[in-house]
Amino acid sequence: MARKAKAARRARRSPEEMIADLEAKIREVKQRAQAKELKQSPSMKAAMSTVRSLDKSLEAAAEDGNNALRHALADARKPLAEFLEGQGLKLPKARVPRGRKPKAKK
């Protein structure tokens, strides 16, 4: 029976690498716990429901074909979503309109 050519050996992680990986996992768990605690706040609950309402409005405006309203709603959602994500909360990705904004009517 012929022996296989020396295959690439499995790289063994050093204790320092294992410690760094475990510390990263600890940070992730702490961030999730902080986000869970934030979600219990009445103000954060209201902000999250506002973002969800804006997302529903975006979809309704898309079905109606109201492009100007879609852009206005997307512009309203963006700063609130950035703030919430900065606080550590995860939000669903919005289906924002693409392309140029329609010109404002006078």
Count of domains observed in the chain:
1
User: 């768990």: which residue's tokens?
Assistant: 29
Taking the C-alpha atoms of residue 2 and residue 4, their distance in angstroms, rounded to an integer, is 6
**Is position 50 within any domain?**
yes
* Span 45-98, pLDDT tens digits: 898 899 999 999 999 998 888 888 888 899 999 999 999 888 888 887 777 777
Structural domain boundaries, residue 58:
23-86
**Is position 76 within any domain?**
yes
Band of pLDDT at residue 36, cut at 50, 70 and 90: confident
| DSSP secondary structure of 22-54 | HHHHHHHHHHHHHHHHHHTSHHHHHHHHHHHHH
**Is position 80 within any domain?**
yes
Residue 101: per-residue pLDDT = 72
**Is position 102 within any domain?**
no
**Is position 96 within any domain?**
no
Taking the model in full, what pTM does it have? 0.63
Residue 17: per-residue pLDDT = 93
Q: Which of 1-5, 73-77, 100-104 has maximum average pLDDT?
A: 73-77
**Is position 18 within any domain?**
no
**Is position 34 within any domain?**
yes
Of 98, 105, 87, 99, which is closest to residue 38 (Cα–Cα)? 87
Angle at 101 between CA 99 and CA 104, to 5 degrees: 165
Angle at 62 between CA 61 and CA 65, to 5 degrees: 85
